[in-house]
Amino acid sequence: MEIFDKKTASEVAAKLLEIEAIRLQPNNPFTWASGWKSPIYCDNRLALSYPKVRKFIKNKLIEAIQEYFPNVEAIAGVATAGIPQGALLADKMDLPFLYVRSKAKGHGMENMIEGKVTPGQKVVVIEDLVSTGGSSLKAVADLKAAGFEVLGMMAIFTYGFDVAKQNFEEAGVKLVCLSDYSSMLPQALADDFIDDYTLASLVEWRKNPAEWPK
């Protein structure tokens, strides 16, 4: 798991905070599907509604792909939030686009992968957010099973959980993100979204999210 560069990480975090794609509520935490209480909620789909932010993220994802995966031949989005981001990139880069469902369609061709399946094609997978990496890596496995050569994955934001790092390492998948939780915290403090007391609570959550707040 790598961050594209520190400057980009801060800039992306600032933009996501500004449009409230990242919301911080340690005093009124969100509840994740896992049951974890979380002081943060990240919905990068909101960036699609802000043309300047959307364009900035698109261009940075392209820069990162060109640096890390220059041999890319196709772009694959992870359903659902990775689909629009991936389509934007593929259009700008003039590359084929496809997307991976979370489960096979229950009618018609019953496809897991939508788009032209070309065995041996070098593909980069696009995800909007990485938490534990489970659903993201399932998409990678489905692409590999269909015969694609997966070069790696790009994501807009990651919480940077150790379990995610471990999962990607064990799967042998390179993950590059534009920004992460560690980069977001000082930016949130600098832009007055949080104070020093709130920062301390947010740091504690990151250390042990399953037990926070105790």
Q: Which residues are annotated as a binding site for orotate?
A: 131
Whether residue 80 has a cis bond before it, omega within 30° of 0: yes
Question: Residues forming the annotated binding site for 5-phospho-alpha-D-ribose 1-diphosphate?
Answer: 101, 105, 107, 127-135
Contacts with 168 (C-beta within 8 Å, 6 or more apart), sequence order: 1, 133, 137, 153, 174, 175
Asked whether the beta carbons of 158 and 184 are under 8 A apart, the reply is no
Distances from the Cα of 53 to the Cα of 46, 61, 68, 185, 188, angstroms: 10, 12, 22, 19, 17
For 59, 75, 186, the CA distances from 198, given in Å and listed in that order, are 32, 39, 12
In the chain, the largest separation of any two C-alpha atoms, in whole Å, equals 55
Task: Give the residue ranges of the annotated binding site.
Answer: 101, 105, 107, 127-135
